[in-house]
Amino acid sequence: MYTADFADVYELVYQVRGKDWTAEAERILAVVRERAPEADRLLDVACGTGAHLEVFARHLGHVEGVELAEPMREVAARRLPGAPVHRGDMRDFRLDGVFDAVTCLFNSIGYMTTVAELRAAIGSMARHLRPGGVLVVEPWWFPERFIDGYLTADAGSADDRVVARVSHTRREGRRTLLDSRYLVAGPDGISELAHLHELTLFTKAEYLAAFEDASCITEFIEGGLTGRGLFVGIRK
């Protein structure tokens, strides 16, 4: 799904939709520093093309990323030549050292398919925190908040390209299928991309239980970055 073609237009697509990575990253830093004022080492899990990570790097002494999709990881590595960007799966990655903060944003946790995978991912992140460190996870929708059959359409331009996106989201039990189609026009012509994102509807209680199992004292912040809220855990 996260191919080289999509990695090339990923930020353009969401920029057109109004996403502000700088403002989001600064909001997350404020959340972290409210709970760990001396935080200076951060790990961003499922860091994508490194748009948040780049902002974190401006404010912190040491940042690292983890990304499973190689085309996305390559973009992040080029963007941040001084920061390690590891290829890894959030369910079982293992890095040397610990961090003051670990983040997993933009509902990437929703790609977990079962509660067992959710617990494994939260556990892997928490293991990379020092005691008192902060874990921030942005969830996918809770079941009761998901709108079956939700439609979106966006179009806009940036630099020398124009992008149009339409999407349809439907529910099959706990699974949601986000079907997105893109048209991207540039100096060389028009290209078309299609992606089917499969994300799981976990309950708030299931997230909280996963954090508790990972030895974190946890709170939920309503709204968060994109309306889905934020889970914020402190490692015991």
**Segment 135-162, tens digit of pLDDT:** 999 999 999 999 999 999 999 998 899 9
Helix (H) or strand (E) holding 234: strand 230-235
pLDDT tens-digit profile of 67-106?
999 999 999 999 999 999 999 999 999 999 999 999 999 9
Count other C-beta atoms under 10 Å from residue 120's C-beta. 19
The answer to whether residues 63 and 44 touch, using CB atoms and an 8 Å cutoff, is yes
- Rounded Cα distance, 116 and 11, in Å: 31
The answer to whether residues 191 and 210 touch, using CB atoms and an 8 Å cutoff, is no
Instruction: Please say if the pLDDT value at position 1 is more than 80.
Output: no
pLDDT tens-digit profile of 165-180?
999 999 999 999 999 9
pTM of the model: 0.96
Among the residue ranges 5-9, 80-84, 149-153, 190-194, the one predicted with the least confidence is: 5-9
Q: What is the pLDDT of residue 101?
A: 98
The answer to whether residues 95 and 43 touch, using CB atoms and an 8 Å cutoff, is yes
Q: What is the pLDDT of residue 159?
A: 80
Domains defined for the chain, CATH in brackets: 4-142+202-235 (3.40.50.150), 143-200 (2.20.130.10)
Helix, strand, coil abundance in the chain, percent, nearest 5: 35, 35, 30
Count other C-beta atoms under 10 Å from residue 98's C-beta. 15
Count other C-beta atoms under 10 Å from residue 40's C-beta. 13
Q: Which two tokens stand for residue 84?
A: 């390690």
Q: What is the pLDDT of residue 2?
A: 86
